[in-house]
């Protein structure tokens, strides 16, 4: 498979945004997007190096996201899996981990472009910072909070856009995320895990339909519904 260039990933993500009625600058609410697309999403604890999995059955799209990941990482995983569901030439049940093959690189670049549109990022960076190619920690915090992404996702995107060097990336990467966010008065939830047990989509409706058709028992139906009732707190 051909590896997408950054420009190609930007164009693909821009078209995806346009088709959904989203501007080229606004942040994406991942959960709202999932609802709009009709994807069934479940948050569950997975192993440390497994971030998510996606698959499709007919026209039904499914996604599982690691609730042990930080919320910033979860947002990236959702965007990454959307690439597999909508643009992968050979879509199949696919586990998102630390792979570096062509498909994974394409999914990562698409996710980065989708969550951090070039136009939106540039509009929030000071002119002097752009000219000097030196982004302040305050701007990094503002960007990662506004677009709801992890620190490393943002830094890689800033480097790809040409706003920072690899050396600057390493320097900013070494700064404690929670500590710096706390010092600047930001909410900590972006840097923490969460959403365990949360289900998004028509899961409940499907479970009720199966129960009414006699395809599952009342006990099984209650078990499925409890996954929603006592799922994770949404944020």
Contact 159, 199 (CB under 8 A): no
* Phi and psi at residue 70, to the nearest 5°: -70, 160
Say what the pLDDT of residue 102 is: 82
Residues 162-200, buried b or exposed e (16+ Cβ, 10 A)? ebbeeebbeebeeeebeebbeeeebeeebbebbbebbbb
Burial class (CB in 10 A: 0-12, 13-18, 19+), 38: exposed
pLDDT digits (tens, 9 = 90+) for 116-150: 999 999 999 999 999 988 899 999 999 999 999 99
* Two tokens, residue 24: 């080229």
pLDDT digits (tens, 9 = 90+) for 28-48: 999 999 999 999 898 989 888
Three-state secondary-structure class, residue 95 = strand
Report pTM. Answer: 0.86
Confidence grade of residue 234 (pLDDT, cut at 50, 70, 90): very low
């Amino acid at each position: 498979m051909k590896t997408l260039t950054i420009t190609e990933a930007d164009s693909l993500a821009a078209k995806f945004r346009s088709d959904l009625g989203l501007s080229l600058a606004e942040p994406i609410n991942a959960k709202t997007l999932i609802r709009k697309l009709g994807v069934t999403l479940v948050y569950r604890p997975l192993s440390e190096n497994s971030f998510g999995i996606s698959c499709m059955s007919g026209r039904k799209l499914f996604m599982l996201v690691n609730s042990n990941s930080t919320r910033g990482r979860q947002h990236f995983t959702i965007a990454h899996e959307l690439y597999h569901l909508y643009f992968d030439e050979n879509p199949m049940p696919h586990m998102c981990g630390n792979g570096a093959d062509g498909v994974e690189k394409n999914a990562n670049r698409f996710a980065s472009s989708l969550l951090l549109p070039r136009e939106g990022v540039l509009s929030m960076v000071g002119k002097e910072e752009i000219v000097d190619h030196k982004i302040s920690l305050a701007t990094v915090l503002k960007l990662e909070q506004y677009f709801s992404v992890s620190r490393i996702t943002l830094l890689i995107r800033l480097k790809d856009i040409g706003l920072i060097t690899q050396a600057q990336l390493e320097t900013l990467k070494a700064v404690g995320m929670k500590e710096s966010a706390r010092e600047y008065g930001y909410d900590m939830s972006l840097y923490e895990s969460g959403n365990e047990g949360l289900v998004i989509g028509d899961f409940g409706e499907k479970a009720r339909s199966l129960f009414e058709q006699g395809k599952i028992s009342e006990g099984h139906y209650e078990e499925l519904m409890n996954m929603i009732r006592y799922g994770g707190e949404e944020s």
